[in-house]
Amino acid sequence: MTPSALKRSALVICCAVAAATGCGGESEPPMHSVSADASSYANVSAFVTTHLTLDLTANFEQETLAGTAELTVDRRDPAATELVLDTRDLTIQNAEAAMATGDWVPTSFTLDAATPAFGSALRIVMPPGADRVRVTYATSPAARGLQWLSPSQTAGREQPFLFTQAQAIQARSFIPLQDLPGVRITYDATIRTPKALVAVMAAEMTPGGEGTGVFTFKMPQPIPSYLIALAIGDLAFTPMGTRTGVWAEPSMVEAAAREFEDTEQMIAATEGLYGPYRWGRYDLLVLPPSFPFGGMENPRLTFATPTVIAGDKSLVSLVAHELAHSWSGNLVTNATWPDFWLNEGFTTYLERRIIEAVYGKARADMEAMIGVSDLEDSRSTIEIAQDKTLLPDMTGRDPDDAYSTVPYEQGALFLAFLEAKFGRDTFDAFLRLWFDTHAFRGATTDDFLTFLRTELMDQSPGVVTEAQVQEWLHTEGIPSFAVLPQSDAFVKVEQARDAFVTGGSAQTLAQASRAWSTHEWMHFVDALPRDLSLDHMRALDDQVGFTKSTNSEIAHVWFRLAIAANYAAADSEMEAYMIRIGRRKLILPLYRDLAATPAGKIRAATIFAKARDGYHPMAVTSVADIVR
């Protein structure tokens, strides 16, 4: 199909979808087949959840959420008598069933023995015709999807804090539900809190809850369970535009708003490329430092780490990434977890396009080059060969066990290759058509390949071969025919590195690099020899102040170099950094580097013992595997 024809087709589809969804208004869950996922017990061939109603009370003393979850289900098998839900460490107190708007009646249930990877199957007897079930339950203080923080672990140090992290399969640790990405639901919620605190969810918030201890929410667009998100704490809000704003602890909210003030510009740039933003508002919530990820793309309310607030917008590619998920991931979702690259590879590609549109091609190219370096570094630590490909085997495994940068960066390189081969205009129209035709649905890799062949490869035979496509999916490295990013800025950085390593002064380097960006400094440090002399390390530190850097990404690459070079002068600051920050991307490589030697492993365990209570359960598990 020609670029103009592809664009016309995308426009027609977009108008049809807009009419059905209101481009941000209420939409009915689409009726389509649901892909089973190996990580879920849910019997989706018999029942598929369409709506969830929550009524939960947060008890900070007991560190539990307790209340009810009401699920409306579509009967796919009229003869089915049992609904199977996913749970993890939940105390199930009662189950009831109802038909349409009829009265609730008690029904029996059983809870299977738990497995480490997937928790317990909750089996509820469904009377004939019943299409609703209500479960009364409470969470465990050790729920993997919840992190309860004491006042001392927050910025304000006066009030406690709670936040959820449901991706990949941790929604089941705070809600009994069908916890797999192929099932999309709408939901409404009532959250009860101490009156001094504010609750926010990744949903429409009813005004007027502050000071009452009762907050109500509604999510009218159907989403997968891993995008259900809740936070409770001492929170303030600052608007950035008509549809954007920031939630954060009061002491951080203004700095966060300044850092993220370009968000509306990013939304407009993405809409120009890939169609309307369909979620109403786009707000951000800045969490305490223990948040294990850089960001989480919860619709309407991205959860973000404070480590990206550098004061110069140098790390806001994270916002571009989470915003991009509003199209790739939230709108069109991987139908199963082995298809994860359809979320993250697409999103990383879109992220770079947003950065290019807002901040220029030079910055986008630098970030893409750093991404390639991260990909190679990540692959070097992966022990299961198939996890180095875009299609890992998830059988019997918690999807988080296969987590790496491979689906992000390899997926983005695959799409950049397709863009280079078919042309940017044609590929942009292709992606917009993909988002429009699959909106509010799950998609598999096979779905994408069928779409790719039909819309691009069959229209332009020989431009991209089937063998090339299969190599992208199954190779454990970067294909030799990949189109890799290039940056003139990094050439200059490498020249400066060579001059310094071969005898140049650190003072001269510091003067010549005053205009360097965060990404140039990261590349400089990353490109230094791992056995750099202590004299060179001291000279750099004296002139540039790496050890005390307030930029979390620069500090991260410097501390990795310090470990390799045995630069003890950075030890105390690195330890404080590893205790203060819970973001897995920043701390796991440091623990791995330390654990590479016997003495370093002892030190890693010592630091972990001090940091453990402040880490999210997901980070605790990951670090424990390294230092064990």
- Catalytic residue numbers? 322, 408
Of 119, 122, 101, which Cα lies nearest the Cα of 111? 122
Enumerate the H helices of 423-532 as residue ranges. Answer: 424-437, 445-452, 466-474, 488-501, 506-512, 518-527
DSSP state at residue 328: B
Of 249, 233, 232, which Cα lies nearest the Cα of 155? 249
Residue 161: enclosing H or E segment and its boundaries? strand 161-164
Q: Which amino acid is at 465?
A: T
Omega before 168 within 30 of 0, i.e. cis: yes
- The region, left, alpha or beta by phi > 0 then psi within -120 to 50, assigned to residue 157 is left
Contact 515, 509 (CB under 8 A): no
Query: b/e string for 298-329 if b means 16 or more Cβ within 10 A?
Result: bbbbbbbbbbbbbeebbbbbbbbbbbbbbbbb
First to last CA, the chain: 55
Alpha-carbon gap, residue 198 to 212, rounded angstroms: 9
Alpha-carbon gap, residue 318 to 231, rounded angstroms: 20
HSE (side-chain half, CA atoms, 13 Å) at 414: 28
What sign for the dihedral angle of Cα 299, 305, 308, 310?
A: positive
**Helix (H, G, I), strand (E, B), or coil: what is residue 71?**
strand
Count other Cβ atoms within 10 Å, centred on residue 59. Answer: 17
Pairing between β-strand 109-111 and β-strand 120-125 as defined by DSSP bridges: antiparallel
Alpha-carbon gap, residue 156 to 146, rounded angstroms: 20
Residue 254: enclosing H or E segment and its boundaries? helix 253-259
Q: Could you write out the three-class secondary structure of 95-112?
A: EEEECCCCCCEECCEEEC
Query: b/e string for 606-626 if b means 16 or more Cβ within 10 A?
Result: ebbeebeebbbbbbbebbeeb
